[in-house]
Every structure is written in C-alpha cells, then in structure tokens.
Amino acid sequence: MTEITDVDALRRAMAENAEQPEGPARNARAEELLAAAEKLNVPLAVIEALGHQLKVYNYSSEKGKMFVPFARLLRMWDERPEDFDEYEAHSLHWVFKWVSSGMLDQPHIPLASIEKWLGEMERRYRLAGYSEAAVRSAEHSVAAHVGDVARAERAYAAWLAADRDAMSDCHACELHGQGWWQAELGRDEEALELWLPVLEGRYTCAHEPHTALASSLVPLLRLGRLDEARANHLRGFRLVRAMESMRGAYAEHVEFCALTGNEARGLELLAERPAYFTDDGQPQSRLDFLSVVTLLMDRLTALGLGDRLVPGPVGREWTARELAAHARADALALAARFDERNGTAHVGDRARARMARKPLVERLPLGVRSVGPAPVPAPPPPAPAPVDGQPDLPALLAEARRLSDHLRPHAVEAWAAVARAAEGVELDPRDRAEIADHEAMGLGPAGAELFEQAAVLYAEAGDPGEALAARARAAYVRALGGAVAEAVAAVEEPYEEVLALYAAGGTGTRQTAAVLMGRARILLRRAHAAETAGAAEGPGAEAVYGAEAVYGAAEAAVREVLALVEGRTGEDVRLAARAAEAQAMLAELAGLRGDLPAAVRLFARGAAAFVAAGLPWFAVEYEARLASLAHHLGDMAEAERALRAALEHGGAHLEAPGRAQLHLQLAELLGNRDEAVEAARHALEAAHWADEAGQSATLGAWARQQLGGFLLRQGRWAEAAEVLESALPDLTAETHGDGAIVQTQWWLGDCLSELGEHRAAAERRLQAAEIARTWPEQQDHATLAHLAGESLGQAGLTAEADRAYALAGELWRALGNPQGLVRSLRARAWLALRTQDGIAAARALMAEAFQECATARDEAPDEESRQRFVTELGHTHRQFGDLLARAATESDTGAPPPALFDEALSQLRRSSRVFASLGDGALHSRTDAELTAGWLEIELGRLTEARARARAVLTAYDGYDGETVRSRRAEAEHLLRVAADDRG
C-alpha cells in the first residue's frame, strides 16, 4: 500500500477508494485514510478524509457509523470555519440531511434528539442563507416515519412551496421521495406520474433510478400495469444487485416476486445476499428486508412448501416455515423498538401489513429462468359430492360417461376416479369394460392388453360392436409402439366382422366408425413408415410404386370412414369428430405425396370441422401442422392465422409444452416481420410455458434467447441483458447450435455496451469471437473482434483493444473487405494517442488507412463500389483531422502546437473536397467537415476563413430542409456570430 505523504496523494487514494464496491472493505480503507490524513498535520486534509468517510458509510450497510465523524466535523467547523474551503463547507451542510435521515433509521436515538437535530439543521441552514426546502423535506421524513400524517402533509406542502437551492436533493431523489409519499397514501397514479422523469432516465444520480424502479413495483401491480412492473423489476434489480447499501430497494424486488407468483426467483434473490439477514448497521432497512422475507416464506407455506429448504441466515439449514417464524419475530422485535422510541404503533402496523399482503398476480412471467416451486396443473372438473362420506359411485359413473360420450377433456381422469371409487365393489361387465377401456387410453402403447380385456368385457356385456372397437384400439396402440405390420394384420378381423355385424343391424354407426377409424389410423401409420423407408432407399421406381400403393390403401380406408358417417355427424359428436379427423388424415396423405397446398386446405377443413362440432381443442394439432406447412410454402399470413387459432382453440386445455411451442413459433414469425413488441410478448409466454413444462434448459432457453433479441430491438437494454444472461447457461452447441450461443453473446455484448458496462461487453464479444474463430466463414469472427476492440477501448484497456482491432484488420483483409480494414486502422490510430509513441504511431496507422482507401478506390469493380471507397477516404481525412486537433489540444507542452492545428485543418479541407466530389449524396458529411474546419480556423485566429466556411455551409443548403439541415444552418449562423464578435 502506497504511503500517504502529502495531500495530493491522500486525494488520489480517496478517489481510488470511492471507485471500489460498497461494503466493509471500502469503509475500512476510509478509516485508514483518515488516520493517514491526521499524520499530515493539515486541517483541510482531515476535513476531506472525514467527508470521505461519511460518504462511504452513508453508501453502505454501516450507516450507523456516520454520526461520530460528522460530530467531529461539526465541531471543527464551529471552532475554525476558516479551515474549510468552499467545497467542504458546502459538503458539511449537505451531510446534515444524511445524518437526520440516518437518525430515524436508528431506534436507539431518542425522538427528542432527532427533533432537536432538526431544529439545529434549520438554524444553521438559515444562517448559511439556504432555503427551507431541505429542512421541510427532513421534517416530512420524521412525521411520515412516526405516522403523523397531518404534520407530514404540512411539511410536504412547505417542501414543495420552498425554492430549490444548493441544499436541495437532486431532482431524481426529490421526485422519488415525493412519489414515495403519494404511494404511501395510496395515490399510485400520482406517485408514478412524479416518478416518470426518473424512470425514463431524464433525472439520475448514484441511487436513481434504482430506488424509484423498486418503489414503483407494487403501485404498478396494484394498477394492473403488469408489463411495466415486469420491466421495472428486470431493469431495477440489475442496478441494485451489486450495491450493498440498497437493502431496502432489494427487499422491494423480493416483495415483487412474492406478490407475482415468482417465489422461486425470490428465493434466488435471498441466496445472493445472505448478509442482509444479519447486517445491523441500518435497522430500518433490515426491518424492511425481514418483513418481505416473512411475506415470501408465508407464501411458500401457503403453497404447501413449508418444509422446503430455503436460503436464510448462515450457520444452519432453514425450512420456509422455520424462516417465516424467525424473520417475523426479528422484524416485529425491531418494529417494537422503533414504536417504543416514536411513541406510536405506526412502524409495527406497517410491518404487519406488509407481511400480510396477498399476491396481486397469480403468476407474472418474467422471461428469466425461474422454475416455479409448485406447478399447478389444470384442475379437472369437480367430482360429485360424496354421500355419507363415501364417493357417490353412480354419480361418478354418470359424469364419466357424459364426459367420454361428448369427448370432453378430463374424461380419462373421470374414469380413473370411478375406478378408485369402485375398489372392492362388484360392478357389472359393462362398467368394468368402460373402466378398463379408458385406463388403457391413458397408457399409450402399453395399453394393448388392457384394451383386449375391455373387449372381452364388452362382449360379456352384450355389446359385440364395442368389443370389436376395443380390439381395433388394441391393434392401433401396437402400431404406435412400432409393430405396424402386426397391427395391420390384427385389425383386419375386427374390420370384417364389424362390417358384417353392421349390415345385419347387430351394431351401430358409432361402433362401426370406431373400428373403421382404427384401421384407417393403422394404415396411415404404415404410409408414414413407407415414406420413411422410401426416403432411406432413394426414389427408385419400385419404391415410389410401393409407397403409392400403401398411400392409396390408407386413403381408401379414410374415405370409407367419411362415407359411413356422412350425413350422420349432427346426431353424435363422436361421429362429427370422426369426420373431422378423417379430413386431417387426408391432409397427412397429401403431405406424404408432396401436395402441400392440398394438405393445407384439408388440415384447415379438419380443424374447422372440429370447431364446428364444439371440440376446438382437437383442432389445435391440425392448426399447428397447417401453420408449419403454410410457413414452408411462404404463406405467412395463413401461418400466423393458424398459430393464433391454435392458441385460441386450445384455451385452458392446451398443455404447457404445446403452448410454449405455439407461442415461440408465433414470436419467430412476428419477429421476422419486424413486429418486435408483439413478438416479445409471445416469446415471454413461450419461456413461461417451457418452464412450466419442465423444459427450461431446452425450449425455455431458446425462447429466452429470442425474447432477449426482441427486447434488444426495442432498445430495452437492461431487460434484454437480464434475459440473455439467464438464457446463456442453458444454451449448448449440442441442443441449440453454437450459432445460438454466438448470437446470444453478441446481443449481450451490445446490451452491455449500451449500458456502459464496457469491460463486460468486451468479455462477451471476445467469447463469441472465440467460437466464431472455428467457422469456415469468417465475417462474424471479424465483426466480433472489431466490436471487442471498441469495448476494450471504451473500458480503457488500450493494449488489449489494439490487439483486437489488429486481429479484426487481418480478418477484414483476408475477407477482401477494405472498409472494415480501414476502420480498424483508424480505430487503432485513435488508441495510439494514448500510448507513449502517440502521434507518430497514429500517423503511421492513418497513412496505411489512406493507402488502403486509395487502392480499393482504384481497383473498384464498378462505380458504386468506387464511390463507397471515396466516401471512406473522406471519412479518413475527417478523422485524421479530428485526431490531430485532439493531439494538439492535449499536448503537454503548454500552448497547442500551431503546426498540428495547421495539419489538422489541412486534413479537414481534404475531407471537404472529397465529399464535395461525391455530390449531394455526401452533402451532410461535407458541411460537417466545413464547420469543424471553421471552428478550428477561429482557434487559429483566422476569422475571415471561418466566416467564409460558415457562409459556404449556408449556401450549400439553399433549397434544402430537414432536421439535419436546420441543425447545420443554426451552427453555421452561430459560427458567423462568433467570428464577427472576435473581429471586434
């Protein structure tokens, strides 16, 4: 550690410490620096070190340590105010506000002392000539804290009426405090209106919009503005995650999770900050945190997860139920200390009300991965009420038959309830047959033997037609298991028998249609198998002929079903379903034959028939397949219609995996049409339902990747970054392809760059470039290396940035991309200014850039290419001029070297001439260079030349209009005025 030997060294050390992360380590260093300052025997050094200590304490979990250094500072001011410079005198008065609010947060400080302090603050501000705005704001905080609403409202009004001055909090903090009070009174709309300039980023500071984003969450939920609440959570949590001092705001994000069905994410947040359970430097924020921990644990317990292990104070394991009791007891004990100090019950009442909040949304999808702690399946229909405590078996049977006869959802579950109720009860063969039949339906290929048992029972019950239908079902599930040939053979006997029985009047249309449909399904499975075999063997004439014969047999079987039920579908919903399914089967056959337009028409007909029969949930599969075919045919309008119809028709009966797939397909379709807002909504739904389906790491990761891209397109950088970071760990080359990983890293780098996180952006771009390095096509590798150079340069890593740009340049050269090469050379020239070689290295790189531009121009294959390289030459002259002017301005030799200014001006003139040669297409670039040259002329005292350039710009824009034109005209007129004023 460097020894502090003078005030300048102390100031450098304090500046370095101020850049460190919040927390005890930074606080400890501030204490060391105060000790070092005391050894210098310079009063101002001690004053500055005390001020630094106060600042780091305030922005940490050890706020309670502020009072001692502040008391010392105040004593030094009272004894020798002349030791304070203007800045430190201002800072001393400024910190009054921190100390007054900090006292409120400490229940051991008596309320009388706080009121006395408030009076002292008012007196000192008045003596210093400050307005009463900050004093009334502090008074409002005291009144609001103890629950004195009348006094708080008076102080609030006086605060707003007072003039803002040098002691007023920044606009962002003031608006947050004012909005907080409105929300506290239940005026959510007014609160959000006050916060809007902060939420939109018009006013910011070290802790804003961090706290406003957190405070806005519950008001937005109460108002039903869910999309905004989701966005503010993702944006806001990203800001507070690394800031130790923001436990109260962090708690509001945990609370948001508890109130929106995101309990699992709430647990993740708790796991990230174990110290928040015990840090006692600011009791008020600890009370806030423990209150929402209680809320979250109570919510888990209510979901039946009270015995689940959860993150809690270190040293032992905690279940949700145990942590709820512990957090509640600690929170209420803290609240009681505040209330005892305040003489009111307000703090305790607030804490209890917060703990008791009920969810405001059953489940609000966030887009980030967070598997719900308790998946809630769609509820089956209510069972009949038990009789005398026992299941009402006749009622259960009647309900199960009603559901199965009308093809309603949950029929299989209803028959399972019958089976459970019938244990130990003697049933007639018909009842037993139906129980076995429906149990088999839920088993897939494993249900063949149970279908055979059902057939025997149907025959015993005197229903030979239903017995044959059960045998046909047994054959079909064997085909599903891969035994297609055996199934074809097995179904022929029941098929022939049912036709004879139907002709003799021994069975009905429903039973006959069931057997015919079973046979048609089996023959369609054979057709699919033939198509697969044909594809493997190649398109020989024999294979084609054999496949067509199989297709023909399947089509004949399907049309036989249609002929049987034609004209009878209005009598029986089951027959209507047979007709609809037959249309869809014809569509499949058309697809196998390669007639995709016919397949689209027939799938649409089948889906419409299911809807017309009152069975829309059966249409979902066919609408989805129709959408895929329409997409393949380029009919995006029909694909979109079908996907939307599938989601609508599935409704509450659509299972999570299918719902996720449909939303994701619709998101991709809309995204390709540049409808990023709606595409993001569907990608969000896809991610949510993929999580519900247990497919977070597969389909969910892909949906999140797409969602992140759609958010990025909208400029929602923080939200996109959160989502993409959530997706990245689950994306694998084996499942998603390395292209998806590179694209995610690329997008994430773009987001981080926009957020000013340049080192992190560079890491993402370099990781993506490393993967792209192995690809045969190197365009992406070059682009990513170039972008990594940008980020490294912005992060101040000059040597690393130069290496990245150099790599990009080599790749651009190999790709035959002179523009990319020239831009990498220019970027390296700017970086060179930061190095020891400085201007000499920059000159060499710019000279190389000029040579590459000239070569590309002279070797251009056509006029369009030639003009593109001439444009690049103009920009290179312009940038070299700017670079030289920067070098002159930053010269450490005293006055800027005139020679460098002259050379810079020469480059700007060349730039202007190059752009002039390109005509109107480069007019804005030309005038930009002219104006820059004009300002440089003024710097050199060449006023006549500066005025000439300004007039040239005004003349160039005669007859033109537009935003850029108006802006350039205004700048030219300003340049004229400055040049005229300087002339005297």
The model's confidence at residue 217, banded by pLDDT at 50, 70 and 90, is very high
| Stretch among 312-321, 372-381, 500-509, 777-786 having the lowest mean pLDDT | 372-381
**Model pLDDT, residue 1:** 53
Residues 538 and 545: their CA atoms lie apart, in Å, by 12
CA angle 385, 388, 391 (to 5 degrees): 50
pLDDT at residue 496 greater than cutoff 60: yes
Each residue's pLDDT tens digit, 553-604: 999 999 999 999 988 777 789 999 999 999 999 999 999 999 999 999 999 9
Residues 507 and 499: their CA atoms lie apart, in Å, by 9
**Model pLDDT, residue 547:** 79
pLDDT averaged over the chain?
91
pLDDT at residue 919 greater than cutoff 80: yes
Each residue's pLDDT tens digit, 676-721: 999 999 999 999 999 999 999 999 999 999 999 999 999 999 999 9
The arithmetic mean of pLDDT across residues 913-938, rounded, is 93
Spatial neighbors of 616 by CB under 8 A, at least 6 apart, are: 610, 648, 649, 650, 651
The arithmetic mean of pLDDT across residues 398-413, rounded, is 87
Instruction: Determine the longest span between alpha carbons in the chain, in angstroms.
Output: 119
Instruction: Read off the DSSP letter of residue 492.
Output: H
**Model pLDDT, residue 568:** 79
Each residue's pLDDT tens digit, 447-486: 999 999 999 999 999 999 999 999 999 999 999 999 999 9
The model's confidence at residue 406, banded by pLDDT at 50, 70 and 90, is confident
Query: What are the contacts of 106-109 at 24+ separation with CB within 8 A?
Result: 106/64, 106/282, 106/283, 107/283, 107/334, 107/337, 107/338, 107/340, 107/341, 108/337, 108/341, 109/341
For residue 309, list its beta bridge partners. 319
* SS3 labels along 738-801: HHHHHHHHHHHHHHHHHCCCHHHHHHHHHHHHHHHCCCCCCHHHHHHHHHHHHHHHHCCCHHHH
Share of the chain above pLDDT 70, in %: 95
Instruction: Read off the DSSP letter of residue 425.
Output: -
**Model pLDDT, residue 382:** 52
pLDDT at residue 536 greater than cutoff 60: no
The model's confidence at residue 837, banded by pLDDT at 50, 70 and 90, is confident
Residues 771 and 744: their CA atoms lie apart, in Å, by 12
Each residue's pLDDT tens digit, 360-377: 999 899 999 876 544 444
Residues 401 and 318: their CA atoms lie apart, in Å, by 48
Q: Which residue has the tokens 């512990």?
A: 326
Amino acid letter for position 124 = R
More confident call, 431 vs 183: 183
The arithmetic mean of pLDDT across residues 755-761, rounded, is 96
pLDDT at residue 180 greater than cutoff 90: yes
pTM of the model: 0.85
Nearest partner of 419 among 449, 403, 397, 399, judged by Cα: 397
What is the gyration radius of the CA atoms in the chain, in angstroms? 38
By the 8 A CB rule, do 473 and 521 touch? Answer: no
Residues 757 and 453: their CA atoms lie apart, in Å, by 68
**Model pLDDT, residue 800:** 97
Q: 356-382 burial by CB neighbour count: b if 16+ within 10 A, else e?
A: ebebbbeebbbbbbbebbeeeeeeeee
By the 8 A CB rule, do 923 and 872 touch? Answer: no
pLDDT at residue 433 greater than cutoff 70: yes
Nearest partner of 715 among 663, 751, 763, 666, judged by Cα: 751
| Stretch among 408-422, 589-603, 651-665, 680-694 having the lowest mean pLDDT | 408-422
**Model pLDDT, residue 401:** 87
Spatial neighbors of 866 by CB under 8 A, at least 6 apart, are: 857, 860
Main-chain phi, psi angles of 309, to 5 degrees: -75, 135
Residues 526 and 589: their CA atoms lie apart, in Å, by 11
Nearest partner of 695 among 670, 660, 747, 721, judged by Cα: 660
